[in-house]
Amino acid sequence: MRRLLPEPAADVDPYEAYGDVPGLRLGMVMSADGSVTDAEGWTDGLGGAADFRVFRTLRALADGILVGAATARTGRLGPARLRADLRERRGGPPAPIVIVSRTLDLDWNLPLFTEAETPTVVVTPRPATGVPGGVPGGVRVVPAPDLGTAVRRLRDDLGLRHLLCEGGPGLATSLLREGLADELCLNLAPTLLGGAHHTRLLGELPAPLDVGLTALYEDEGVLFLRYSLK
């Protein structure tokens, strides 16, 4: 990976490049024509190996990985994993995946809930007692009436100080609307998908939000943009 901004540098280590981890970082990948889903409604077809390297790095640097319930409902979100090299650098097991849901309408039999090395967390305003059959053992449910409270409880009660939100657009938009995100790490993939499979990065915001470009990297044609939101 090479750095183009602020000043050019070759052979940049992503773990160091993204090492200044803020309280809440949004990390997402988008095609060059602005879609966050590929033809299968997932993300694997977007950024390739270079994107995955940064994706894994952002996970390894985080204390908790926020994901919207609709992304979990695709059934393609696995439990938190960590490769040996990143595990060594992180100095411990993977960060928990934290599913954010109002409805708790989730498939609790997914490996995400039953096979996670670091148990998956669910934050929700709904009482978990309403889940038929109950939530699987190990899954921690954090009650929170709103996202601000959720972020505070994750930080104060579970010690998850540095959160990464991987999307999808619904959750990312909610966090932006609430002013809870500090940074957007946007990976721009060298792919044009066309209209048929388009899903936009964000939903509606109350007003345009100015962002500041703090760094720009490139690897295998993928552009890695870091925007400050504060």
Ligand X SMILES: NC(=O)c1ccc[n+]([C@@H]2O[C@H](COP(=O)([O-])OP(=O)(O)OC[C@H]3O[C@@H](n4cnc5c(N)ncnc54)[C@H](OP(=O)(O)O)[C@@H]3O)[C@@H](O)[C@H]2O)c1
Q: What residues line the site for ligand X (CB under 6 A)?
A: 28-29, 36-37, 41-43, 68-71, 74, 100-103, 105, 147, 166-171, 174, 199
Q: From CA 186, how far away is CA 195, in angstroms rounded?
A: 20
Q: From CA 118, how far away is CA 115, in angstroms rounded?
A: 9
| Minimum distance, C-beta of residue 200 to ligand X, in the bound complex (Å) | 9
Q: What residues contact 71, with CB distance under 8 A and at least 6 apart?
A: 77, 166, 167, 168, 171
| Minimum distance, C-beta of residue 8 to ligand X, in the bound complex (Å) | 27
Report the residue number, 199 or 214, with the smaller CB distance to ligand X. 199
| Minimum distance, C-beta of residue 227 to ligand X, in the bound complex (Å) | 14
Report the residue number, 199 or 228, with the smaller CB distance to ligand X. 199
Report the residue number, 52 or 88, with the smaller CB distance to ligand X. 52
Q: From CA 23, how far away is CA 12, in angstroms rounded?
A: 23
Report the residue number, 76 or 88, with the smaller CB distance to ligand X. 76
| Minimum distance, C-beta of residue 98 to ligand X, in the bound complex (Å) | 11
C-alpha pair distances (Å), 30 with each of 45, 118, 193:
10, 28, 10
Amino acid at 200: R
